[in-house]
Each structure stands twice: as structure tokens, then as C-alpha cells.
């Protein structure tokens, strides 16, 4: 089986993206509204993106923009990451925004993959705005020859009325499940058998839920981010393809000659009372299975980053931190490395993608086993999305807690890390917890057997 090559969306080669000039834009009524800016500036654009720091954040950046689809993947892969970028508060000053599907990375690693229509997609950015949520500053970004007209358009958008909140989803259509609960729990047991044989020591088993294609994917994203805000969410659109993500996981970041990754492994639902919520968070923090699941991926990512790092510079910056989101508590760690001279974005992807948090370990053996068990493509889910800067700064999120929309429908992937200590019923319940919010944004519900696994609210 093979991954289909990316189709060229244009008959001619797209010019290389230019460095973008930065111009501050004042907001007379206070902090800029990223949602309103996207709607006014890029609502009708064929190619558009919003890398979203969350609802009413007080830190981080949101990046919103448009461009043209890149037709030369080598241009993105060849960006040098090892040289320290010139000092700039703004995290992106030209380059690409887009995504890499899971099968693209798995095939490049030598694993067998299911045939998938999903292809690496990068938008060469021509116009953008960057919102600094710590200060409330707004920056217009465009090529030098275009900056004056772009600033004028951004000023008009800032002054325009804000859109009304996204309407609630109507109806309660039942999503179709790739695997039933009984089948999924049987696959968990097969994972445990593979671990018992010594073929792997963790496997990230996933499944998919399918719903009808929404009429307005951007409205669905507005509902998703309102219900489950996250610091690495985003909405990306190229033609009929839309990625709507409430991702809490930073996969890879580079800058100043270093690279880091922050894998998430370990999940608990939120409690219905403050007391139960605190107990669930502490249970996650101390659970032997969850800590083992997390540290296995930390060790795998240490190994991945060592392939492109200066020997002796791999560091575990944090281990087993609990981060809390509207729907779940998560166990998070961070690993970093100083990059060797000449390391490119392609080198980084070859070393670390797909993310160990979405495969298991050892990585190649895990991907091979999962291909046999899942028997279908993951597509964009389990891949990554974000920006690659001309200056070598990269910020990529994991494609989790995400809706993918194409011409045929809407898809929500979900899964979890399986270890020897996994309980099949608990693993299935974790899948249901993760898939519920994205499906709700679509106006869809889990099939009844999956829905019965959710905690009583």
C-alpha cells in the first residue's frame, strides 16, 4: 500500500514565500478579537489559516493569514533550523503554514501504511496578522511592497462590528464508528498480547468517527473552540479541505538553535464537582500506568531528538505535569535538544515524525503492529500542523481533538496509549471522552454503545 502523492493545485510553480514586513496596528477599543479578524479578513479566502492560542488568552500568539498552496515540498524541508534567528518578538515573519498527515511520516519511516488521500499541504504565506495576547498588540504582516495596502485593510477589519457568537449545533445525528466498542476493546487486548510478546511496550491505538459534512466548517470551529479552548488549536482551509483543531499538544518547536517537544500521555475526564475534579487530577498525577505511559514516550522522544542534536544536550525540562482543559486533565512532559549545525526541517521531521505519542514504542514496531490492527488510514489525524518560518522558527501542534472536513464528510479521530497495565473498558471510555466534544460541535453524538462509556454528568 502507498500514500498518494500530493496533487499540484496550480499549473505553475508557486514563487518562494517572501520575508514579511511587520507593521503595528492600533486597536481603539482594546484587545484585538482574533475570531473577528479572521472572519472579516479571510472569511471568503480559498486558502486561510488561524493558529489559535485559545479563547481570551493572556499569553501566547495567534497567527491568522492567507497565501497560496506550495507546490515544491523541498522548499519547506530545506529550511535550516540550527542558526539562531534574529531577535524578534513576533514568532512568524514569513514562510509556510500547513499540515503533515500521519501516513506521510509513517511511510517515510519504513512502516506499512494504509492508502490515504491526505497529503502534506503547505500555504506559502502572503498576508497575515499576528496577535500578541500578553500585550494586546496587533501586527500586520505582508511583503514590503504590499504592506501599506494590507495595513489599511487590517485597520478596516479592526473597526468592523464583531460577529455574533456561533449558533448552537442543531439536531443530534449519530456518528458512524470505524470500530464498535466490543471490537475496540478486543484490539486493546491484541495490543496487550503484542506487548506481552515483547514486540512493543506501548501502542497508541486509534479509531475514527464519521459525521455528515457541515455546511459551514468555520462556524463548527467557532463552536469547538468555545467549548474546548486550547493553546495550540487552529482552523486551516485549502479548498474543500478543512482542519478544525482544539489541540492541547505542542509537537515540535524550534528557535535559538534548539528544538523541543511536549508529549501528552495520560488522561482523566473532568469531575462534575470541584472535589471530584481535584481527585481525578491527583489520581492522574500518581497513577502508575499513566506515569509509565508518559515516561515511555519521553524516552522515545529523547532518542528521536538525539539524532539531530548535539551529543549530551538532550534535556527533560519537565516530567509528569498535569495540565487541565475544559473536558480533560492531561499528563504532559517536555524534552529539548540543541540542534547540530545544518539541521533542516526535513531532518527534524525524519527524526521525530510521526510523534511517539501517536505511535507508541519502539516506534517502527509500534507503527507496523498498529497498521495490522487498525486496518485503515488515520489521514491528517495523528499528524501535525502549524508554521515553518523562513528564519528557522517552527511551531507544530499534534492533530488531536480535531475535526477534519473534506468533500465527503467530517471525521474525528481518537485513541490512547496502551500498555500492559491497560484495562480495555477504561481505554474505550477514554476514546469516548476525547471524541465527544468535537462531535458535539458538528451536531453529532457518539453511537449508543460508545456513549454509554461516558462519565455521568
Range in 6-20, 120-134, 296-310, 434-448 the model is least confident about: 6-20
Average pLDDT of the residues in 311-332: 93
- pLDDT number for residue 3: 44
- Spell out the domains of the chain, with CATH numbers in brackets: 173-215+258-382+406-451 (3.60.120.10)
- pLDDT number for residue 86: 66
Q: How far is the C-alpha of 128 from the C-alpha of 20, rounded, in Å?
A: 9
- pLDDT number for residue 6: 40
* pLDDT 10s digits, 247-288: 999 999 999 999 999 999 888 988 989 999 999 999 999 999
Whether the pLDDT of residue 422 is over 50: the answer is: yes
Whether the pLDDT of residue 8 is over 60: the answer is: no
According to DSSP, residue 313 is labeled -
Q: How much is the CA Rg of the chain, to the nearest whole Å?
A: 21
Whether the pLDDT of residue 4 is over 90: the answer is: no
- Mean pLDDT across the chain: 93
pLDDT band at 310 (very low <50, low <70, confident <90, very high): very high
How far, in Å, are 39, 173, 235, 247, 397 from residue 242 at the CA level? 15, 20, 7, 15, 16
Q: Is residue 115 a contact partner of residue 1, using CB atoms and an 8 Å limit? A: yes
* pLDDT 10s digits, 167-178: 999 878 999 999
Q: Which residue has the cell 501542534?
A: 397
Q: How far is the C-alpha of 288 from the C-alpha of 275, rounded, in Å?
A: 22
Instruction: Residue 78: count other Cβ atoms within 10 Å of its Cβ.
Output: 12
- pLDDT number for residue 227: 94
Q: Which three cell numbers stand for residue 284?
A: 492522574
* pLDDT 10s digits, 62-113: 999 999 999 998 999 999 999 776 668 899 999 999 999 999 999 999 999 9
* pLDDT 10s digits, 337-353: 999 999 999 999 999 99
Whether the pLDDT of residue 5 is over 50: the answer is: no
More confident residue, 20 or 457: 20
Average pLDDT of the residues in 104-131: 97
- pLDDT number for residue 12: 47
- pLDDT number for residue 80: 96
Q: Is residue 151 a contact partner of residue 140, using CB atoms and an 8 Å limit? A: yes
According to DSSP, residue 146 is labeled G
Q: Rounded to two decimals, what is the model's pTM? A: 0.93
* pLDDT 10s digits, 201-223: 999 999 999 999 999 999 999 99
Amino acid at each position: 500500500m502507498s500514500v498518494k502523492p500530493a496533487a499540484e493545485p496550480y499549473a505553475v510553480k508557486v514563487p518562494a514565500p517572501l520575508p514579511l514586513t511587520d507593521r503595528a496596528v492600533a486597536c481603539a477599543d482594546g484587545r484585538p478579537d482574533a475570531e473577528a479578524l479572521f472572519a472579516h479578513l479571510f472569511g471568503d479566502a480559498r486558502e486561510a489559516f488561524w493558529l489559535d492560542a485559545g479563547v481570551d488568552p493572556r499569553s501566547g500568539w495567534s497567527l491568522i493569514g492567507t497565501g497560496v498552496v506550495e507546490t515544491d515540498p523541498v522548499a519547506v524541508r530545506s529550511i535550516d533550523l540550527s542558526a539562531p534567528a534574529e531577535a524578534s518578538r513576533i514568532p512568524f515573519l514569513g514562510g509556510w503554514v500547513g499540515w503533515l498527515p500521519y501516513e506521510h511520516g509513517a511511510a517515510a519511516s519504513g512502516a506499512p501504511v494504509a492508502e490515504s488521500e491526505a497529503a502534506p499541504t503547505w500555504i506559502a504565506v502572503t498576508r497575515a496578522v499576528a496577535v500578541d495576547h500578553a500585550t494586546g498588540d496587533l501586527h500586520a504582516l505582508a511583503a514590503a511592497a504590499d504592506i501599506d495596502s494590507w495595513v489599511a485593510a487590517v485597520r478596516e477589519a479592526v473597526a468592523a462590528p464583531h460577529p455574533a457568537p456561533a449558533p448552537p449545533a442543531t439536531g443530534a445525528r449519530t456518528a458512524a464508528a470505524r470500530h464498535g466498542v466490543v471490537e475496540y476493546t478486543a484490539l486493546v487486548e491484541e495490543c496487550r498480547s503484542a506487548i506481552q510478546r515483547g514486540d512493543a511496550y506501548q501502542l497508541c491505538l486509534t479509531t475514527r468517527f464519521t459525521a455528515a459534512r457541515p455546511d459551514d466548517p468555520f462556524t463548527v470551529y467557532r463552536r469547538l473552540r468555545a467549548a474546548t479552548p486550547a493553546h495550540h488549536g487552529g482552523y486551516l482551509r485549502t479548498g474543500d479541505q478543512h482542519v478544525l483543531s482544539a489541540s492541547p499538544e505542542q509537537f515540535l518547536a524550534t528557535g535559538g538553535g534548539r528544538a523541543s517537544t511536549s508529549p501528552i500521555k495520560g488522561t482523566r475526564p473532568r469531575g462534575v464537582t470541584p472535589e471530584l475534579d481535584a481527585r481525578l487530577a491527583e489520581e492522574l498525577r500518581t497513577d502508575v500506568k499513566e506515569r509509565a505511559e508518559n515516561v515511555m514516550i519521553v524516552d522515545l522522544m529523547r532518542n528521536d531528538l538525539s539524532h539531530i542534536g548535539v551529543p549530551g544536550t538532550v534535556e527533560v525540562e519537565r516530567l509528569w505535569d498535569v495540565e487541565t482543559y475544559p473536558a480533560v486533565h492531561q499528563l504532559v512532559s517536555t524534552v529539548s535538544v540543541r540542534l547540530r549545525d545544518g539541521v533542516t526541517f526535513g531532518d527534524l521531521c525524519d527524526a521525530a515524525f510521526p510523534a511517539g505519542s501517536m505511535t507508541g514504542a519502539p516506534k517502527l514496531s509500534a507503527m507496523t503492529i498498529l497498521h495490522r490492527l487498525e486496518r485503515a488510514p488515520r489521514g491528517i489525524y495523528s499528524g501535525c500542523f502549524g508554521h515553518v518560518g523562513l528564519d528557522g522558527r517552527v511551531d507544530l501542534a499534534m492533530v488531536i481533538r480535531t475535526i477534519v472536513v473534506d468533500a465527503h464528510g467530517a471525521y474525528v479521530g481518537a485513541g490512547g496509549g496502551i500498555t500492559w497495565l491497560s484495562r480495555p473498558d477504561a481505554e474505550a471510555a477514554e476514546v469516548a471522552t476525547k471524541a465527544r466534544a468535537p462531535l458535539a460541535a458538528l451536531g453529532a453524538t457518539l453511537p449508543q454503545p460508545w456513549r454509554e462509556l461516558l462519565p455521568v454528568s
